[in-house]
Amino acid sequence: MTSSPSTSEAPSLREILLWPVVFLSGCLLVVSLFVLMTALLFPPDNQVDCGGKRMSGPGEVCIGGGTYSQMIEREHEGHQRRLIFGAAGFVAGGLLTGGGIFVMRAGTAKEFGSDPLRGVWLEEKGRFDAAEQWHREAIKNGRADSMIDLGRLLERRGDLDAAESAYRNASQSGVEGADTNLARLKADRRNE
């Protein structure tokens, strides 16, 4: 059971600006993919339109556009530009979209502590300070169930007063199992 924070914080400027960036980079991704696919599916065919007339030989001259060779060269350059724009846009759009989504998932304070097992994992790896910070941030961001994990960590480190306080806060927040842990800790302290 998790409790929700009592006050709602206004979103940061980064959070406000991140959504449009991800949306626009996603649009760039889609448009550049379309351009790339059309360039790949429809390569130049060595026939040029000149005022409704199809030019297909090197000796022909278009009234307003130059020789057949010049027009074919322009068509090939345009095709190369579409390929380059499509590929570069696809890569850039993918990187921006993926990076933006990563930042939204991992970087915002509201996501901190969303994985309750992260603090436990840090504790198992022996990174007690990082685990304690993780649990405290998770509690601050509304994860009341992390109070039990924090209490267990503090108990393991020998800070029994702080552990009892964490269990008591969890019990007051209605976290399942907090009363059991609080009673066990009090019994252990009486038996010392």
**Domain boundary assignment for the chain:** 13-108, 112-191
The average pLDDT across 7-19 equals 64
First to last CA, the chain: 32
Answer whether 0.75 is exceeded by the pTM: no
The average pLDDT across 153-162 equals 90
The average pLDDT across 159-181 equals 91
* Strand, helix or coil for residue 46: coil
Q: What's the pLDDT score for residue 172? A: 92
Q: Which of 45-54, 71-80, 87-96, 107-116 has the highest mean pLDDT?
A: 87-96
In this structure, of 54-58, 83-87, 120-124, the range with the lowest mean pLDDT score is: 54-58
Mean pLDDT of the chain: 79
The pLDDT confidence band at residue 14, using thresholds 50, 70 and 90, is low
* pLDDT at residue 104 is higher than 60: yes
The pLDDT confidence band at residue 165, using thresholds 50, 70 and 90, is very high
Q: Which CATH superfamily is domain 112-191 in?
A: Tetratricopeptide repeat domain (1.25.40.10)
Q: Tokens 């915002």 correspond to what residue? A: 108
Distance CA 76, CA 33 (A): 19
Is the model more confident about 62 or about 171?
A: 171
Please name the residues in contact with 126: beta carbons below 8 A apart, sequence gap of 6 or more. Answer: none
Give CA 3 to chain center in angstroms. Answer: 25
Q: Taking each helix axis from N to C terminus, what angle separates 128-140 and 146-157, rounded to the nearest 10 degrees? A: 150
Q: What's the pLDDT score for residue 38? A: 87
